[in-house]
Amino acid sequence: MSDTTLRQLKLLELLPRQPFKKSTQTLKENLSEIGFEVSTRTIQRDLKNLSSILPLISDERDKPYGWSWHKDASGLNPAMDPIEALTFSLAQEYLEPIMPSKSFKRMNIFFERANSVLKEMDKSSIKRWRDNVRVVPQWQSLIPPEINEEVEAQIYDALLHGNQLDVYYLKRGNKKPEKRIVNPLGIVLQGVVHRLICTMDGSDNPRHLPIHRFKKAKENGKRVETPQDFNLDSYIESQNIGYLISVKPIQLEVLFQSMAGFHLTETPIVKDQDLKKLSDGRYRLKAKLADTSQLRWWLLGFGGQIEVVKPKSLRDEFKQVAKEIKNIYDA
């Protein structure tokens, strides 16, 4: 489909029905907003050509002159404009990791249509913008684990309908899955791993289990039994999903080498961080942070460019890690 055809389809969508009307100047502005830069003369020519085969009305009784669909016209099915195509193209990249596989595949018709629209618009600024924008992961990216699509669909449907599941779940380290009764309470996306928050076999203690370890799942017709006062956000905050080590926050103090610490001047780790540049060029960071494994991974990623000062327990922990690393490389 050519750029001209796409523009004309959108032009027809923008036209109101009698007795309302739009001037060519207004239509020009409307088209510009969605990525079509054309002159009023081009729009006038398009409308005149289209009116020869479609029930379009040109009202020139009084100014501003305008165009509209005839009041009895059936109109057209919507065409995807460049802004919509751009939105779907970007959404494809972000939705794939978080949507159930079957649901995502059902959306493919929209993604393919969007990419086709952008492909046809070689001269569009929107097409150029999409071609020149990339999203790069901040951390090392991992390949998602393989998930049984039928099982995944059953789990998502059960959560949607509020029903229990009969499942076969493979524990870490086991060779055979075990049959369990599951009450689905929520789903958490953690990087490339999807986790089901649930209770099992009549227990009131919620757990979080990787969905890729479910080998079979089927709704059993019974309603979900939700633990009293269960709250998904509270559970995530209090449990190990965020790799929380202690519910007590850390009063962190760290010295960063100049190049390593500069990024905190532009992207603070928390809004109320205390960051000061010292006379030797280093940065001293003081901040109150959650005591998590993720915090340790972030700090360890700087290698010898940081020094943990406080708390003493974390400083001692990093000393031990440094010794273990040294022993490995000295061997």
Could you tell me if residue 315 is inside a domain? Answer: yes
Residues 254 and 196 in one domain: no
Number of domains the chain is built from: 4
| Residue 63 burial (10 A CB sphere; 0-12, 13-18, 19+) | exposed
Last residue of a domain, one of 210, 238, 266: 238
| Residues 305, 303, 285: CA angle, nearest 5 degrees | 50
201-240: b or e for each residue (b if 16 or more CB lie within 10 Å)?
eeeeebebbbbbbbeebbeeeeebeeeeeeeeeebbeeee
Could you tell me if residue 157 is inside a domain? Answer: yes
Could you tell me if residue 139 is inside a domain? Answer: no
pLDDT tens digit string along 234-281?
887 776 565 667 778 899 999 999 999 999 999 999 999 999 999 999
Residues 225 and 172 in one domain: yes
- Give me the chain's average pLDDT, please: 84
CATH number assigned to the domain comprising residue 11: 1.10.10.10
Q: Would you tell me how many other CB atoms lie within 10 Å of the CB of residue 7?
A: 24
pTM: 0.58
Q: How far apart are CA 317 and CA 121, in angstroms?
A: 56
Lowest mean pLDDT among 19-33, 126-140, 161-175: 126-140
| Residue 200 burial (10 A CB sphere; 0-12, 13-18, 19+) | middle
Nearest CA-CA partner of 94 in 149, 128, 147, 133 = 133
pLDDT tens digit string along 142-179?
777 888 888 998 998 899 889 999 999 999 888 999 99
What mean pLDDT is predicted for residues 109-120? 76
Nearest CA-CA partner of 110 in 118, 120, 98 = 118
DSSP alpha helix (H) spans, the chain:
3-14, 24-33, 40-51, 82-95, 101-106, 108-120, 125-131, 149-161, 232-238, 258-261, 263-266, 293-300, 312-330
Residues 234 and 257 in one domain: no
Could you tell me if residue 75 is inside a domain? Answer: no
| Element at 167 (helix H, strand E) | strand 163-169
Concatenated DSSP letters of 110-161: HHHHHHHHHHH-TT-HHHHHHHT-----SS---PPPP--HHHHHHHHHHHHH
What is the pLDDT at residue 80? 66
Phi, psi of 88 (to 5 degrees): -65, -40
Residues 281 and 317 in one domain: yes
Residues 54 and 117 in one domain: no
Give the structural domain span for 38.
Answer: 3-69
Number of residues written out for the chain: 331
Residues 154 and 173 in one domain: yes
Could you tell me if residue 138 is inside a domain? Answer: no
Residues 296 and 223 in one domain: no
Last residue of a domain, one of 205, 238, 271: 238
Query: Omega of the bond prior to 137 within 30 degrees of 0, cis?
Result: no
Residues 221 and 256 in one domain: no
pLDDT tens digit string along 48-106?
888 877 888 888 776 667 888 887 776 555 556 677 778 888 788 777 766 667 667 76
Residues 114 and 192 in one domain: no
Q: Would you tell me how many other CB atoms lie within 10 Å of the CB of residue 150?
A: 13
Last residue of a domain, one of 191, 213, 238: 238
What is the pLDDT at residue 214? 95
What is the pLDDT at residue 241? 61
The two structure tokens encoding residue 52: 């020869």
Could you tell me if residue 90 is inside a domain? Answer: yes
What is the pLDDT at residue 122? 66
Could you tell me if residue 108 is inside a domain? Answer: yes
What is the pLDDT at residue 253? 97
What is the pLDDT at residue 76? 58
CATH number assigned to the domain comprising residue 304: 3.30.70
Residues 98 and 19 in one domain: no
- Cβ-contact 36, 85 below 8 angstroms: no
Residues 232 and 249 in one domain: no
For the chain, the C-alpha Rg in angstroms (whole number) is: 29
Residues 222 and 289 in one domain: no
Residue type, 13: E
pLDDT tens digit string along 202-238?
888 888 899 999 999 999 989 999 998 899 888 877 7
Could you tell me if residue 191 is inside a domain? Answer: yes
Identify the bridge partners of residue 256 per DSSP, sorted by sequence position: 283, 306
What is the pLDDT at residue 164? 95
Concatenated DSSP letters of 12-26: HHH--BTT--B-HHH
Q: How far apart are CA 117 and CA 80, in angstroms?
A: 8
